[in-house]
Structure 1
């Protein structure tokens, strides 16, 4: 299979590979919990969680944030199923008193299944200009880039 043929398949797999929940723990503190598909990897889950920290900061009326704590886990399993069919091909040749025989069996129908998720949790503290620590915090709009308004509206759903 050509690499160019794989690009659309990978794009479809990664198109909606992450989900995030937000738990408020104080007026300016939240916990971001992100689960991402096995194809995203731990770094993909962490990337989504980090971007969602910026999104949630803006959604809640703050300008900057600090990640006060982080946890990333890989909860992915790989299961390889056994064959579901077998075909045997045999060949025999006889010449006088001697015989030559061979047999080949092909097994098929095996599958590799990736299950589970990569998870990231971030403790986020949000700031406005009048708050102590504002100057040391990350600017949410800068972190999201020029498309920040769309990302705040739609959220982050892919790890790519």
Structure 2
């Protein structure tokens, strides 16, 4: 009696580090990111996906600099929630804000083109 196809699919998703992210607009310059990840990802994997999505969304919205107004983690369901605030030149936090392009690295254009990652495994 082997593993049924549906069970095998679920097992493979868990091993592959599946992640699901939702983005909720809050204002013209802020949004919430909520990522739920498979146990194989661990909390750091969920956080990594959430941070990457935040950077991708900032660039898609025409910005670069941002900071986290709020961050929350739920270790029981491996979920990371962030409230992201975009900032422009002249904003008091501009100098200390993260650069979305720097966070994504030199291949940021390709990463943004791919869109929201669905796995915590680095590609």
Q: TM-score, normalised by structure 2?
A: 0.79
Q: Deviations over 1:21-62 (max 9, x none)?
A: 111111111100001111101111011101111111101111
Distance 2:50 2:86 in 1: 15
Partner of 1:145: 105
Name the structure 2 match of 1:159: 120
Q: Give structure 1 regions of 4+ aligned residues with deviation exceeding 6 angstroms.
A: 9-12
Q: CA deviation digits over 1:51-106, x for unaligned, max 9?
A: 1111111011111110111111123xxxxxxxxxxxxxxxxxxxxxxxxxxxxxxx
User: Whole-Å Cα distance in 1 between the matches of residues 111 and 14 of structure 2?
Assistant: 20
1:130, CA displacement in angstroms? 4.2
What residue number does 2:22 align with? 21
CA distance in structure 1 between the partners assigned to 2:112 and 2:88 by the alignment: 17
Structure number with larger C-alpha Rg:
1
What is aligned with 1:128? Answer: 88
Any gaps of 5 or more consecutive residues in structure 1?
1-8, 76-116
Tell me the equivalent position of 1:39: 40
Q: Which residue of 2 aligns with 1:119?
A: 79
Structure richer in strand, relative to its length: 1
Change (3 A) 1:74 1:10: same
Count of matched residue positions in the alignment of Structure 1 and Structure 2: 110
In structure 1, what is the Cα distance between the partners aligned to 2:48 and 2:108?
15
Structure 2: distance between partners of 1:51 and 1:62 = 14
Tell me the TM-score normalised to structure 1 length: 0.62
Structure 2 regions of 5+ residues with no counterpart?
1-10
